[in-house]
């Protein structure tokens, strides 16, 4: 049986991590992923070359975990009510557990917990197992004036789980993991009612047993929860076929300081006035606790096939994506990486052996010599096709025909599958390279087709300029990829990192450069976020993108629903100390 225990101090499962073997090569421990157990001799040499640094695999930065933690603030009357409402194993004052519930997975969080700690963390963690217990918790919080912060999978990358440092009330982290059941499945109407604490990987597994899928696969699907998806207004890698979270949720139940939000029935679509549940999409824990949702489900696809295409440059890849969206319904997942990310994926390959050596050399000769692709410009697109056999066959035919018009070359199903699956294993790299003096993080946006190329170019240039301005060592790594496509535009992920050995305050430099990159994104017409949300990390930009009347409307909604700021996480400039 697989041990699914998660790490407290880094991303992912406890049995999986990147490490240096005695040869000085990188390898991924465990057996979960296609990359697991493979030796990656090209990774560190590639990093040295790209970043212009002398990287010693055996030299690591001193990190300290766990840090010293602040003493808990105890509201004894509330604790007495807790012990009446919940079982003993539903209440935890464990210090390290409290720490884990006081942060998400931004680089800032990971750096802070290994370099001095957090000034404020939850004072207690509670685990309700049913909606009635959530109601009791909220009622007790109102009686005794304590602060509640909902906790799903803890994967957020916006500092949404950081506790306001000046919060003097007792802070209670409400961990929803015990509310993880699929309450019912309606196979006729293709619906399921699922508790908010259910984790993505478990939802997929349980629905699969019944012949269905929800189709929602964010990068964090192994750890994030249904409630978290709604609270952050999430998007998945297969949204082309199944939709984003707002397309999938038909109804939800939530507990607020003003009472329960419930409905008498679920319908395909309604026009019944203002819908309170819509406020919970993107609410980030500031209005109440989502307890369950009714979602659309789909029969498992008859076939699933992977594919990949290489293009001579990023511009050709983008023109392919644009025509694809104008002409046909795209495959379940279509993702285009730029050249730096393409090179990065090659660096994550182990050395081919036997027949694969000749095959690799032949493929390289064909692409670079016969077709004239420049290795320093070429890019790759990975594809996932899902549906009935005839549907998938038709999609493949159209996709590859359009790709050919834009000088694209089919690169095979194996590369497509590898590219898609890499999403899950490379998530472990950021915390690994932090040990080797490299700060790195991703950030995303959405942008219109007409502004896409300029936004990518200008944002990269801005990062380079900001890095040079601070006289930081080596060269920064900055790359992008298109991860989701729409009729009107795309979602773009940027990946940024720099070497910080000898830098006196590396996180300040990183924060300033990331802030500048976000300024540039907004200047070029990009959104503040596509699916990560706002939290505390991006809230200072809200007055830039929303009118004062819009911000005031949201503030008044918060004040009406939660006048005592019981849900005082302080995200999006709503409440908090």
Q: How many domains does the chain divide into?
A: 4
Tokens representing 233 are: 């207004």
Q: How far apart are CA 281 and CA 293, in angstroms?
A: 12
**Residue 477, beta-bridge partner list:** 497
Q: How far apart are CA 406 and CA 413, in angstroms?
A: 20
Give pLDDT, residue 175: 98
Q: Indicate the pTM of the whole model.
A: 0.95
In a domain, 205, yes or no: yes
Same domain, 295 and 308: no
Q: Report which of 491, 512, 376, 493 is spatially closest to residue 439, judged by C-alpha positions.
A: 512
In a domain, 92, yes or no: yes
Identify the domain boundary among 299, 326, 359: 299
Task: Label residues 150-167 b or e (16+ Cβ within 10 Å = b).
Answer: bbbbbbbbbbbbbbbeeb
Same domain, 444 and 420: no
Q: Write out the catalytic residue numbers.
A: 493
Give residue 483's Cα distance to chain centre: 12
In a domain, 14, yes or no: no
Give pLDDT, residue 362: 46
Q: Which DSSP string do the residues of 403-438 spell out, in sequence order?
A: HHHTT-EE--HHHHHHHHHHHHHGGGHHHHHHTTTE
- Helix (H), strand (E), coil (C) string for 19-30: EECCCCCEEECC
Identify the domain boundary among 283, 299, 315: 299
Indicate which CATH number applies to the domain containing 113: 3.30.43.10
Same domain, 308 and 356: yes
Q: Using alpha carbons only, what angle is made at residue 296 by residues 294 and 299, rounded to the nearest 5 degrees?
A: 135
Give pLDDT, residue 150: 98
Residue 342 has φ and ψ, to the nearest 5°, of -60, -45
Task: Please state whether the peptide bond connecting residue 42 to the residue before it is cis, i.e. omega within 30 degrees of 0.
Answer: no
Residue 355 buriedness (CB in 10 A; 0-12 / 13-18 / 19+):
exposed
Residue 328 buriedness (CB in 10 A; 0-12 / 13-18 / 19+):
middle
The answer to whether the CB of 490 falls within 8 A of the CB of 447 is yes
Q: Report which of 541, 520, 378 is spatially closest to residue 454, judged by C-alpha positions.
A: 520
pLDDT digits over 394-441, tens only? 999 999 999 999 999 999 999 999 999 999 999 999 999 999 999 999
In a domain, 389, yes or no: yes
Q: How big, in percent rounded to 5, are the helix, strand and coil portions of the chain?
A: 40, 20, 40
The answer to whether the CB of 162 falls within 8 A of the CB of 539 is no
Give pLDDT, residue 358: 42
Same domain, 117 and 101: yes
Same domain, 270 and 320: no
Q: How far apart are CA 293 and CA 431, in angstroms?
A: 33
Pairing mode of beta strands 171-175, 147-151:
parallel
Give pLDDT, residue 575: 81
Same domain, 413 and 335: yes
Tokens representing 99 are: 């720490």
In a domain, 507, yes or no: yes
Same domain, 406 and 481: no
**Is 448 strand, coil or helix?**
strand
Q: How far apart are CA 425 and CA 305, in angstroms?
A: 20
Same domain, 411 and 463: no
In a domain, 509, yes or no: yes
| Mean pLDDT, contiguous 10-residue spans, the chain (577 residues) | 85 96 94 94 96 95 92 97 96 96 97 95 98 98 98 97 97 98 98 98 98 98 98 97 98 97 90 91 97 98 97 98 96 98 92 52 58 90 98 97 97 94 94 97 97 98 98 98 98 98 96 98 98 97 97 95 97 82
How many Å is the Cα radius of gyration of the chain? 24
Same domain, 415 and 449: no
Give pLDDT, residue 355: 47
Same domain, 312 and 295: no
Same domain, 421 and 328: yes
Give pLDDT, residue 3: 81
Q: How many residues does the chain have?
A: 577
In a domain, 409, yes or no: yes
In a domain, 138, yes or no: yes
Indicate which CATH number applies to the domain containing 501: 3.30.300.330
pLDDT digits over 58-89, tens only? 999 998 999 999 999 999 999 999 999 999 99
The answer to whether the CB of 554 falls within 8 A of the CB of 574 is yes
Expressed as residue numbers, the domain containing 223 is: 185-299
Q: Which DSSP string do the residues of 122-176 spell out, in sequence order?
A: -SEEE---SHHHHHHHHHHHHHHT-EEEEESSS--SSSTTPPPTT--SPEEEEE-
Indicate which CATH number applies to the domain containing 340: 3.30.70.3450
Same domain, 351 and 395: yes
Residues 6+ apart with CB under 8 A from 347: 40, 42, 43, 45, 46, 47
Q: How far apart are CA 290 and CA 288, in angstroms?
A: 7
Identify the domain boundary among 427, 457, 484: 427
């Amino acid at each position: 049986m697989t041990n699914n225990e998660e790490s407290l101090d880094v991303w992912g499962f406890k049995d999986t991590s990147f490490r240096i073997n005695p040869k000085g090569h990188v390898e991924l421990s465990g057996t979960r992923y296609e990359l697991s157990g493979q030796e990656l001799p090209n990774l560190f040499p590639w990093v040295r070359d790209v970043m212009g640094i002398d990287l010693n695999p055996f030299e690591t930065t001193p990190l300290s975990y766990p840090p010293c933690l602040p003493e808990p603030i105890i509201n004894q009357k509330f604790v007495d009510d807790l012990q009446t409402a919940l079982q003993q194993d539903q209440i935890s004052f464990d210090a390290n557990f409290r720490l884990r519930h006081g942060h998400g997975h931004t680089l800032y969080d990971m750096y802070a917990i290994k370099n001095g700690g957090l000034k404020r963390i939850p004072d207690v963690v509670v685990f309700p197992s049913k909606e009635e217990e959530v109601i009791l918790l909220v009622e007790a919080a109102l009686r005794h004036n304590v602060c509640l912060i909902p906790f799903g999978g803890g994967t957020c990358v916006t500092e949404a789980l950081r506790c306001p440092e000046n919060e003097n009330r007792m802070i209670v982290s409400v961990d929803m993991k015990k509310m993880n059941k699929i309450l019912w499945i309606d196979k006729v109407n293709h619906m399921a009612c699922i508790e908010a604490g259910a984790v993505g990987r478990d939802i997929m597994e349980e629905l699969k047993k019944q012949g269905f899928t929800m189709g929602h696969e964010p990068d964090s699907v192994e750890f994030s929860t249904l409630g978290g998806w709604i609270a952050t207004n999430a998007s998945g890698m297969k949204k082309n076929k199944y939709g984003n979270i707002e397309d999938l949720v038909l109804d939800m139940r939530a507990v607020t300081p003003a009472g329960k939000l419930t409905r008498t029935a679920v319908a395909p679509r309604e026009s019944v006035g203002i819908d309170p549940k819509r406020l919970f999409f993107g609410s980030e824990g500031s209005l109440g606790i989502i307890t369950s949702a009714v979602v659309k489900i789909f029969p498992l696809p008859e076939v699933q096939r992977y594919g990949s295409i290489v293009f001579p440059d990023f511009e050709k890849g983008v023109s392919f994506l644009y025509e694809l969206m104008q002409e046909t319904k795209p495959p379940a997942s279509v993702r285009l990486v730029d050249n730096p990310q393409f090179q990065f994926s090659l660096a994550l390959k182990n050395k081919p052996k036997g027949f694969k050596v000749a095959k690799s050399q032949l493929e390289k000769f064909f692409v670079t010599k016969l077709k004239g692709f420049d290795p320093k410009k070429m890019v790759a697109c990975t594809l996932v096709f899902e549906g009935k056999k005839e549907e998938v066959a038709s999609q493949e035919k159209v996709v590859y025909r359009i790709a050919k018009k834009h000088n694209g070359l089919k690169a095979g199903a194996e590369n497509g599958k590898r590219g898609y699956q890499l999403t899950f294993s490379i998530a472990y790299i950021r915390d690994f390279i932090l040990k080797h003096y490299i700060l790195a993080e991703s950030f995303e946006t959405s942008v219109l087709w007409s502004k896409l190329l300029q936004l990518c170019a200008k944002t990269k240039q801005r990062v380079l300029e900001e890095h040079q301005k601070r006289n930081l060592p080596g060269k920064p790594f900055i790359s992008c990829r298109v991860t989701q496509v729409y009729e009107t535009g795309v979602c773009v992920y940027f990946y940024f990192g720099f070497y910080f050995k000898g830098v006196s305050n590396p996180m300040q430099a990183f924060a300033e450069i990331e802030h500048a990159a976000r300024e540039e994104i907004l200047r070029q017409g990009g959104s503040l976020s596509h699916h990560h949300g706002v939290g505390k990390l991006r809230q200072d930009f809200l007055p830039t993108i929303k009118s004062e009347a819009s911000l005031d409307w949201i503030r008044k909604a918060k004040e009406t629903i939660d006048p005592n700021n019981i849900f005082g996480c302080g995200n999006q400039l709503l409440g908090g100390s």
